[in-house]
Amino acid sequence: MAASGNRAELPVASLRTAVDQIAAWVREADGSALGEALIQIRETGIDRLEAVFAEGVRRFDKSGEYRADGALSVIAWLRWRCKLSGGAAAERVTIARQLEQLPKTEAAFARGDLGYQHVATMARAAEHVGAAAVRKEEAQLLKAAQTMDPGLFIGVAKSFEHRVDAAGALAEANHAYQRRYFHLGEPDDGLVRLDGVLDAEGGATLRTALSGLMKPIKDDDRTYGQRCADALVELGRQAGRGRRNAAGDRRDGSGPRPQLVIRASLDTLAGLPGAPAGELEGGGTVPAETVQRHACDSAITRITGQGELEQERAQASRTIPPSTRRALESRDRHCVFPGCDRPPIWCDGHHLVWWTRGGATTLPNLALLCRIHHRMVHEDGWTLERHKDGRFVATPPRDIGARARSA
Ligand SMILES: [Zn+2]
Ligand SMILES: [Zn+2]
C-alpha cells in the first residue's frame, strides 16, 4: 500500500498533541472535572473518531486496497493491521456499510451526538431488516438512542425489528438459540474452566436465578466475579436439595440427593499428616480440610471409602436428622458467623467440635454456617465457638498475617 506520506503527518501530529493535552488534563482533574473529562474523551474523542473511522473503512472496503497488503477481506485486514478481534472488526464494517444509507444516523454520529454502541445497534438493525425500513423510523429511533443507555436501546431496536419483520426476528432468535452451548472443563491445576453462550431467554433466566444468590454479605471482600461464581455453585447445590417445604423436608418426601461424592481415607478424614487428598467422583481432588468440611453436613455430600465406614461405625452417624436440622434452623435462624445473615437454605450444619474429631451430631454441638463462612472455618483456619450466653464468637487463625502475606 502506498504510504500517504506528508499529507498524513500534520493531522496525526496534531492528534498526538491533543491526546497528550487531554492526558495532562485527566491527570490534573478530580471530582466533577474528572467526570467531565471522561465524558469529553468519549463524545469529542473516541465516538467522533469512530465515526471518521467508519467513513474511512467504507471507502477502503470499496476500493479493495486491503488486498495490496495480502488480506483477503477488509475484516481480515482490520484484524491484522488495526489489532481488532474478528467480532470488533465485523461490527465496524457493518457500521461503515449501513451508515451510508442512514444519513441522519451518520450525521449524529459524526457530531458526537450518538455513542458508538448505539450506532452499532442501529447498523445491526439495518442489516437485519434493511436500511429502508430503518430510514422510515430513523428519527424516532435516534431520539430513543439519545435518551437511553445502549442496553435499553438494544431492546427498543429489537422490538422495532420485530414490528417490521416478525418472521426475520423469529429466525434470528432461532438462529441465536441454535448457537447455545455450555462447556464445563476437566479439572486442571485445581480449577475447572467454564465457557458458553445462551440465547437471550436462557441468559435472562440464569441472570435472575443468580442475582438472588449473589448479594454481598457484611464486609464482603469477594469480587463481583467471585460472587457470580459462588452464586452459580450455590444454584447447583440448592437445585440438588430440591424444593423444601417450610419444615425443611423435600416435597416428594425423599431425602436429599448427594451432589458431591468424595472418596476419602480414614487418615484424610482425621487430618493426619501424610494422608492422601480426597478424590471427587467425576475427577479432581480436594484437600483434607475440604473433606472434613463436607463431613460436617452430609446433606449434599456422600463420603465413600474406608474412612466413612469405620467412622460411621465408631461414632454414630454424622448425618443431621431432619428433626435436628429443623431445631437448628429455628434456634440459629441464619448463619451464626458474626455479622452474617444468610438464610438457612445457604447454610450447612457445622459441628463445633468437628465430627471427624469425635463431635456429636446433637443440637448443642451444631451451628448454621453459610458456605463461605463454613469454608473459612475449615479451610482458612478460623475458630468458631459458642459462649455460654449463646453468642457465637469467631477468632481468626493465628497465622492469618502469614496467610494474608502469602495471598
Ligand atoms: Zn463444619
Ligand atoms: Zn455466613
Q: What is the pLDDT of residues 316-330, one digit of tens each?
A: 455 678 888 899 999
pLDDT score at 406: 36
Q: Which residues contact 50 (CB under 8 A, 6 or more apart)?
A: 92, 95, 109, 116, 119
Q: Ligand 1: distance of its center to the CA of 289 in Å? A: 10
For residue range 145-190, what is the model confidence (pLDDT) as tens digits? Answer: 999 999 899 999 999 998 888 888 888 888 888 899 999 888 888 8
Q: Which ligand is nearest to the CA of 356?
A: 1
Q: Rounded to whole angstroms, how far apart are CA atoms 379 and 278?
A: 14
As a whole number, the mean pLDDT across the chain is: 85
Choose among 345, 246, 242: nearest CA to 297: 345
Q: Which ligand is nearest to the CA of 349?
A: 1
Q: Ligand 1: distance of its center to the CA of 212 in Å? A: 25
Q: Ligand 1: distance of its center to the CA of 360 in Å? A: 12
pLDDT score at 279: 84
Q: Which residues contact 302 (CB under 8 A, 6 or more apart)?
A: 258, 260, 261, 262, 308
Q: Rounded to whole angstroms, how far apart are CA atoms 147 and 166?
A: 26
- The answer to whether 348 and 371 are in contact (CB under 8 A) is yes
Q: Which ligand is nearest to the CA of 334?
A: 2
**Helix (H) / strand (E) containing 351:** strand 347-351
Q: Ligand 1: distance of its center to the CA of 233 in Å? A: 18
Choose among 77, 49, 52: nearest CA to 63: 77
For residue range 350-368, what is the model confidence (pLDDT) as tens digits? Answer: 999 887 777 888 899 999 9
pLDDT score at 318: 59
Q: Ligand 2: distance of its center to the CA of 218 in Å? A: 9
Q: Which ligand is nearest to the CA of 295?
A: 1
Q: Rounded to whole angstroms, how far apart are CA atoms 286 and 190?
A: 8
- The answer to whether 366 and 385 are in contact (CB under 8 A) is no
Q: Ligand 1: distance of its center to the CA of 355 in Å? A: 8
pTM of the model: 0.61
Choose among 90, 63, 56, 65: nearest CA to 76: 90
Q: Which residues contact 392 (CB under 8 A, 6 or more apart)?
A: 336, 337, 338, 367, 384, 385, 386
Q: Ligand 2: distance of its center to the CA of 359 in Å? A: 21
Q: Is residue 303 very low, low, confident or very high in pLDDT (cuts 50, 70, 90)?
A: low
